[in-house]
Amino acid sequence: MIRTATPADIPVIHTLIRELAEYEKAPQEARATEEQLREALFGDHPAAYAHIAADDTTGEPVGFALWFLNFSTWRGVHGIYLEDLYVRPTARGAGHGKALLTELARLCVARAYGRLEWSVLDWNRPAIDFYESLGARPQDEWTVYRLTDEALTGLGTA
pLDDT band for 144, please (50, 70, 90 cuts). confident
CB atoms within 10 A of CB 122: 8
- Find the mean pLDDT for residues 48-75: 97
- Find the mean pLDDT for residues 14-24: 97
Crossing angle for the helix pair 10-23 and 34-42, to the nearest 10 degrees: 110
Determine the Cα–Cα distance for residues 51 and 49; give it in Å rounded to an integer: 7
Mean pLDDT of all residues belonging to the chain: 96
**Over the stretch 28-61, which tens digit does the pLDDT of each residue have?**
999 999 999 999 999 999 999 999 999 999 999 9
**Over the stretch 91-132, which tens digit does the pLDDT of each residue have?**
999 999 999 999 999 999 999 999 999 999 999 999 999 999
Q: Residues with catalytic annotation?
A: 131
Task: Return the pLDDT at 137.
Answer: 94
Task: Return the pLDDT at 143.
Answer: 86
The secondary structure of residue 3, as a DSSP letter, is E
C-alpha pair distances (Å), 71 with each of 68, 94, 106, 113, 139: 10, 32, 18, 9, 17
Q: Residue 27 pLDDT > 90, yes or no?
A: yes
Determine the Cα–Cα distance for residues 65 and 85; give it in Å rounded to an integer: 4
Question: Given the DSSP bridges, would you call strands 2-4 and 116-118 parallel, antiparallel or unpaired?
Answer: unpaired
What's the first-to-final CA gap in the chain, in angstroms?
Answer: 49
Are 41 and 32 a contacting pair, CB within 8 Å? no
Q: What percent of the chain has pLDDT over 90?
A: 94
pTM value > 0.75: yes
- Find the mean pLDDT for residues 82-87: 98
